[in-house]
Amino acid sequence: MLLYDLYVIYRGGQTIFHKRFGSMEIDQDLITAFLTAIENFSKEVLATDEPLRVIEKGFSKVLLAYGKDVCCALVCGTEDISEVEILRNILEITLNDIQTQFAQILTAWKGDLRQLAGISDIVETNLKGIMRASAPPPLAELIQNPNRYYYMVDDRGINLYNTLLRESKAFRAFIKKIGIPIEWVDMILNEIRMGKRNSTQLGQELGIEMQRLIVLLRSLKLRGIALIWM
């Protein structure tokens, strides 16, 4: 499963929130215009009251959820039907949370995006589990763009690390190979538990060489411990 982009689009076609999850860049104006056109087409041409919920081409899919004032669109990649259903359910929950929390603002919204700043917190909360399971960006991408990606760990990740990973012989062998003591791993996790950090910030704060740090962080993401955000 791969996540590419999430869009929250206000009625009429204005993007009020956009979250990119990976390195693939999609023109925001182009995708918004496309999704708005698809929504209008499905309402006016298709002989059904049920709006279009998915656009797919092989592995790539756009999942759609509709509310009174906003539409949510998740661009993702998967061929697993069960994963599609999980993502659709999470998208519906995210949409409902946005509509509920910002109901009064959205009814008569005048275009001030500062009023909708809390949408990012809703998205992060609802997608955290999916982000844990999704594949991280390639190592070369993380190294080439150290300021683009932010790392964090939540209580679940800390518990997984302490109970399953910290004393693992395979993990100890891995960090020895890249030259990072276990105490440094503890220190890194403590830093990103307090808030999101990119690898440049972490390297400067902790005095750890950038490439080794990124190799470790990506490994922690692959093992379901850390999360990576853009």
Sole residue written with tokens 């932010």? 150
How many residues are listed for the chain in this entry?
230
User: H or E stretch including 4?
Assistant: strand 2-10
Rounded Cα distance, 2 and 84, in Å? 11
**Beta strand segments in 11-153, E:** 14-20, 54-57, 60-66, 70-77, 150-152
- Work out the average pLDDT over 111-136: 84
pLDDT 10s digits, 206-217: 888 999 999 999
Which has more confidence, 182 or 130? 182
DSSP state of 61: E
- For residues 166 and 34, the model is more confident at 166
The answer to whether the CB of 168 falls within 8 A of the CB of 224 is: no
Look at residue 142 and tell me whether its pLDDT is greater than 80.
yes
Is residue 12's pLDDT more than 90?
Answer: no
Q: Is the pLDDT of residue 205 over 80?
A: yes
All domains in the chain, ordered by first residue: 2-133 (3.30.450.70), 139-229 (no CATH)
Residue 190 has pLDDT above 70, yes or no: yes
Q: What is the structure's pLDDT at 13?
A: 80
Q: Which of 145, 22, 126, 139 is nearest to 76 (CA)?
A: 22
Mean pLDDT of 121-138: 81
Residues 6+ apart with CB under 8 A from 143: 210, 211, 214
Residue 88: CB atoms within 10 Å: 17
More confident residue, 136 or 153: 153
Write down the mean pLDDT value for the chain.
86
For residues 70-88, average pLDDT: 87
pLDDT for the residue numbered 95:
92
- Whether residue 175 is predicted with pLDDT greater than 90 in this model: the reply is yes
Distance of alpha carbon 71 from alpha carbon 37, whole angstroms: 13
The pLDDT, as a whole number, for residue 140 is: 92
**Which pLDDT belongs to residue 41?**
65
Of 163, 87, 84, 82, the C-alpha closest to 123 is: 87
CA distance 193 to 212: 19
Neighbours of 224 (CB within 10 A): 15
Q: Is the pLDDT of residue 22 over 70?
A: no
Assess whether pLDDT exceeds 90 at residue 218.
Answer: yes
**Distance of alpha carbon 135 from alpha carbon 112, whole angstroms:** 34
* Whole-prediction pTM: 0.67
Cβ burial of 20 (10 Å; 0-12, 13-18, 19+) is middle
Digit-coded pLDDT (tens) for 40-72: 666 666 555 666 788 888 888 889 898 889 989
